[in-house]
Chains A and B, each alone.
Chain A
Amino acid sequence: MSQTFLGMPLLPVFGTGNLHASESFPKAAHRELGNAQLRANLGHATHTIRDKRLQVVSELPDWEQLRDAGSAIKESVMARLPELLEQFEKNFTARGGVIHWARDADEANEIVAGLIRETGETEAVKVKSMATQEIGLNEYLEEQGITALETDLAELIVQLDHDKPSHILVPAIHKNRSQVRDIFLREMPGADPALTDDPAKLAAAARTHLRRKFLTAKVAVSGANFALADSGTLAVVESEGNGRMCLTLPESLITVMGIEKLLPTWQDLEVFMQLLPRSSTGERMNPYTSLWTGVTEGDGPQNMHLVLLDNGRSAALADEMGRSALHCIRCSACMNVCPVYERTGGHAYGSTYPGPIGAILSPLMTGIQAEENNSLPYASSLCGACYDACPVKINIPDILVHLRGVDVDSKRGKKKIPTQMDAGMKAASWALSSGKRLGLLEKGLPLGRLAAGPDKKITKLPGIAAGWTQSRDIPAPPPQSFRTWWAKEHRGPDADGGPMPSHNKGDQP
C-alpha cells in the first residue's frame, strides 16, 4: 500500500450511530434527577458493586502492577494498531474465519444483515455487546425483517420494555425487581401470572423463555472482549451461560468488534482476565469465559465471521491527548464510582457509552461538534474517582479537561466578535501574569465593599458573571488584600521593596 496516504482522508472520520446526546447533558440530567425511583435503584446498585469491587481488588497484592501492565499493553496496542490488525486478520483467516471491515455503523449493519440473509434465517440470538448497541444493529435488523433476540437477562429486560440500556455492564440497573416482574408479565408470552419479584424466580422465567430459542437458533451475533493478534483468538466474558449457548450451538456466528480490542499476545490475556472480572462485577472471576480460534471441526459454529468496526475509533486515535480512551475494556468501574452517574443514571448521557468513560469516548468518536456531545465533558466534577478505579489507568479527568478546551476552541472558531468570556479571560490573563498589576488592581477592593452594602453581600454580578450569583451570594471583599496586609505586618529590610517576600517572582510571565 502507498506510504504517502494518497487519497487518504486527512481529517479524522467520525463515527455514527448511537453515540450522540440528542439533548444537552444538563437538560437531560435535570429531567432524570426528578425520578426518585431511578435514583434509589442506582444508589443501591452502584454502592453494592463498588463495595464488592473494593473487596476483591484488596485481595490481590499485585493489583497496581497488573494495572501498570494493562495500561502499557493497551498503549502499545494503540501505537502498533495497523500491524496488529494485519497480524490478527492473517491468523483468524488461516483458521477458517472470514473478516469484514466496516468504516461506520451503517456499513457494519449492512454486513451483518447480509450475512444473516445468506443463511436463510430471519431470527438471530444475541450475546450482549456494546459494539452492536453502538451501531444500532437490533433496530436496523428489525427494519430488514430480521428479529434479533437479546439473551443476556438485563438486555432482555430492556428489550422487552422497549427501553434503552443505562449501564454498560448491568443495562437494567435502573429497574428494580418489581418493575422487572411487571415487564415480564406484560411482555413475555406465556409468563406465569403468579410470577413473584424474587430475582431467582425472574431468572428462571428468563431461562424458560429463551431455552427453546437457544436450542434451535441457527445464527448468533456476538461482540468480543478481547482478540489476540498472535493467534487470531477471540474471547467473550459472561456470567449466565447465554454467551456459551450463542457461541457454541448455532451453525453460524457473526462477531462485531471495535478495532481497538486487540491484545498482542496470549500472555497478555493473563493480565486482562485478572483486571476485568474484578473491576466489572466485583468477582474474582466471572462464571464463564469462552475463547475460540476460527473454526474447530466438529465443535461449535462452522461459519465464523468477524466484523472489524472503525466508526470513529480512528478519529479518537488521532487525538494524541485523548487516544488512551480507547484503552477502555468496558468494565464500568468508572460509572459505579462516579458521583454524577450515580445521580443522573446512564440515559442522561444519550450515547451508548455513559458515565465518565462515555463523557470522553462519545465526543472523541463523533467529534466535539456532533449534536449535544460538547456538553458531555462538563458532566463531571473532576473528582478523579474514575481514574483511581480504572483498571487500565485511563486519566479520564485530564481528557475531560482537554475536551473542554477542544469545545471552547471549536466555538471560538465560529465567532468573529470576542465574547464577554473572551474579554474577561484576556483581562484576567493581563492582571494575573504580573504581581505589580494585580497589586494595583487590589487597591480597588474597597470599591467592592461599597457595592456589597451594609449586609456585606454581593447578590448580583453584571453580565455573564451573573451566572455565578444566581444561586449564591459573594461575601464582601476584605478591606485590604493579603499582599497589603503581609507587607504591613512584615515590614523589614527584606520585604521593604515590594508587597511580597523576597521569593516573589510575580513579574515574570
Chain B
Amino acid sequence: MSARDEILGRVRAALKDSPQVPQVPRGYRATSGLDEKALIELLVDRLVDYKAQVAVVDAAEVPTRIAALLVGAQSYVVPAGLDSGWLAGVEYEPADGRRHLDSAATPLTVAELDGIDAVVTGSAVAVAETGTIILDGSPSQGRRAISLVPDHHICVVKATDIAGILPEALRRIDGTRPLTMISGPSATSDIELERVEGVHGPRKLDVIIAR
C-alpha cells in the first residue's frame, strides 16, 4: 500500500469515533471602524515602533520624497510596472546604469541584485493595527527577490490601501499570489531576547504613505 493510502487510512481509523465538526464562533472584530486620518496615524505609530522610517505626504510629493531617499544610493532597482510618475523626481541618465528595471520576462540575476543598493516598490494593502505591509507580486511590486536582496527598501503605501485590522486586509487580496507580509525591517530576538533590527532582509525600510 502506498504511504498516502496508509496514512489516510490511519487518520480515518483514528477518527472512528466520528468527532463532531464544531461551528466556528467568529465573534472577533471584522473591521476597525477607523477613518482615514486615524488609520494613517495608527500605521505610522506602529511602523515607527518597528524602527521603520515613515513619511506621510500628499500624492503629488511622492516623487520628491523618493528622489530624496535615493540620494545616497549608487544604484536602485524598480519593478517594470512601477508608476513611472513616482520616479519623475529622480535624475535619470540611462547611460549611468544607476536605475535597473526588473520583470519576470527580463529578471536580474541574484548576483546583480546583490550589487544594487536600494529598491522602490508599491504595495497591495497595509494593516494599520499591526504595522504590516503586504506585497502581492503585482506589477507595482514585482518579483519577491527584488524587495529582498537590496539592503534598502523604499515602499509606497497609498492611504486608500490601508486597512484597520488584519481580517479587513486579507479580504482585499488574492491569497494564491506569492505574498510577503512585511512588518518593519528584518529583526532577530535570538540573543537574550534583545531585539536587533537588520539581519538578512533589507536592514533599512522607508515607508512613504501617500494621501
Contacts and interface: CB of A to CB of B under 8 A. Distances in A.
Nearest to A278: B130
A65 B25 contact: yes
A8 B22 contact: no
A7 B192 CA distance: 52
B144 A244 contact: yes
B2 interface: yes
A199 B23 contact: no
Interface residues of A, number: 107
Given A1-B5, A180-B191, A293-B175, A207 B200 contact: yes
Contacts of A231: 175-176
Contact of A49 (B29, B105, B193): B193
Interface stretch (A131-139, A315-323, A427-435): A315-323
B187 interface: yes
Contacts of A62: 27-29
B170 interface: yes
A239 interface: yes
B107 A298 contact: yes
Given A62-B28, A240-B188, A101 B4 contact: yes
B110 A249 contact: yes
Interface string A122-164: 0000000000000000000000000000011110010000000
Given A10-B13, A79-B15, A107-B3, A285 B167 contact: no
B91 interface: no
A175 B193 CA distance: 11
Given A49-B193, A177-B191, A284 B3 contact: no
Contact of B23 (A72, A292, A318): A72
B95 interface: no
Nearest to B3: A101
Interface in A242-288: 242, 244-245, 248-249, 259, 266-271, 273-274, 277, 281, 283-288
B181 interface: yes
Given A269-B175, A285-B130, A287-B182, A101 B7 contact: yes
A248 B144 contact: yes
Given A9-B10, A288-B201, A200 B196 contact: yes
Given A69-B25, A289-B180, A41 B192 contact: yes
B27 A287 contact: no
Given A65-B27, A72-B22, A290 B179 contact: yes
Question: Chain B's interface: helix, strand, loop or mixed, by majority?
Answer: loop
A470 B202 CA distance: 59
A5 B13 contact: yes
A44 B28 CA distance: 33
A385 interface: no
A69 B27 contact: yes
A422 to B, nearest CB: 30
A299 B8 contact: no
Interface string B120-152: 000000010111100001000001110011000
A455 B7 CA distance: 65
A263 to B, nearest CB: 11
Interface in A306-339: 308, 310, 314-315, 317-318, 320, 323
A292 B178 contact: yes
Interface string A80-106: 111001100000000100001111000
25 contacts: A8-B10, A9-B13, A45-B192, A61-B29, A75-B22, A199-B196, A228-B175, A239-B187, A240-B188, A241-B186, A244-B180, A245-B201, A248-B145, A249-B145, A249-B149, A270-B167, A273-B166, A273-B181, A286-B183, A288-B180, A288-B183, A289-B180, A291-B181, A300-B178, A317-B11
Given A287-B185, A288-B201, 20 more contacts: A8-B10, A9-B6, A82-B8, A101-B3, A152-B190, A154-B188, A172-B190, A177-B192, A199-B196, A200-B198, A211-B200, A214-B200, A216-B110, A240-B188, A266-B175, A270-B167, A285-B130, A296-B137, A314-B7, A320-B17
